[in-house]
Amino acid sequence: MKLLHLAPKNTKIGFMRLRRVSYPLSACLSIISVVVFFAVGMNFGIDFAGGTQVELRAKSGVADLADIRAKGDSLGLGPVEAQRSGADTDVTLRVKVQGGGEQGQQTAIAKLRSAFADGYEFRSVDSVGPRVSGELVQSGTLGVVVAILCVLAYLWFRFEWQFAVGAIIGTMHDLLLTVGFFSITQLEFNLTSIAAILTIVGYSLNETVVVLDRIREVMRKYKRLSTAEIVDMSVNAVLPRTIMTATTVFLALLALFFLGGDVIRSFSAAMIWGIFVATYSSIFICSPMLIYLGVRPDAFDKGAAETEAAKSPA
């Protein structure tokens, strides 16, 4: 029985020749991400922005967005956002935080029910006050920062410093482009998106560690090859594994994106983007950094000699 191979065996693709293209490309994408983040900002969901979100389904016929917006604006709740969520019968309403704390939020929900209960079924109602949303922002930000610091600390102690620097740059590159992805697409950014960012960081770390481990192994074996040749050999060696992993995860996320509903759509979209970014950075950002940092195979010989000297008696 023949096994399925998504990549041909013994490939000899010159990945490192493309570093003169990948670095300027990543620099441009990073600059665009930063500019869009500060100029446009994120589309924060009610988890972070606060307010009320209501899922409606028309009892008969198609939901009339124009009529819904007109009724919502007449309730005195400020601007009411209305957009389709899947089928033509489903609509999502968003109302900003109301004054009066929790009582104000409940009053807004009561007004929405009185205005739309006749023609629409209320599938779900979510309400978050300004105090709770502020706490969620702080907790979410703290969780991301702590997780990233732990990842960076692991990378620093796991590899030689040149490898660690390359891995850290690759991880930060993935994080920055993911934030830019949310800003450009204006996907709703909520607690599920925080989970997506942390998952992308973990996936990126996994890809990076696999590639760097193989590079270090090949460097110990082939002493006379240049660093670029060693990196190319290592990346080609793990290429079948990389393609298989990325493909299987992509297919699973594709099913979640189309069949999982609106609740996890932003998570699925961010993860699909994260797979491509993490795979790209492990090959074209992290690995070429070893060349620029001047890593040579004989560095491992020096490290081994120093270790033996420290063990031997004086």
If asked whether residues 55 and 158 sit together in one domain, one would say: no
Structural domain including 120 reads 51-128
pLDDT for 310 equals 45
Task: Decide if pLDDT at 186 tops 70.
Answer: yes
Final residue before a domain boundary, out of 108, 128, 148: 128
Q: Give whole-number Cα distances, 169 to 155, 163, 250, in Å.
A: 11, 10, 24
pLDDT for 166 equals 86
Q: What is the pLDDT of residues 103-142, one digit of tens each?
A: 777 888 888 888 888 888 888 888 766 555 566 667 777 8
- Percentage of the residues of the chain whose pLDDT score is greater than 90: 20
Final residue before a domain boundary, out of 105, 128, 151: 128
If asked whether residues 66 and 200 sit together in one domain, one would say: no
If asked whether residues 160 and 282 sit together in one domain, one would say: yes
Task: Decide if pLDDT at 35 tops 90.
Answer: yes
Task: Decide if pLDDT at 311 tops 50.
Answer: no
Contacts 24+ apart (CB under 8 A), 17-25: 18/284, 19/284, 19/288, 19/291, 22/280, 22/284, 22/285, 22/288, 23/284, 23/285, 23/288
If asked whether residues 67 and 108 sit together in one domain, one would say: yes
Look up the pTM and report it.
0.77
If asked whether residues 190 and 261 sit together in one domain, one would say: yes
CATH number at residue 297: 1.20.1640.10
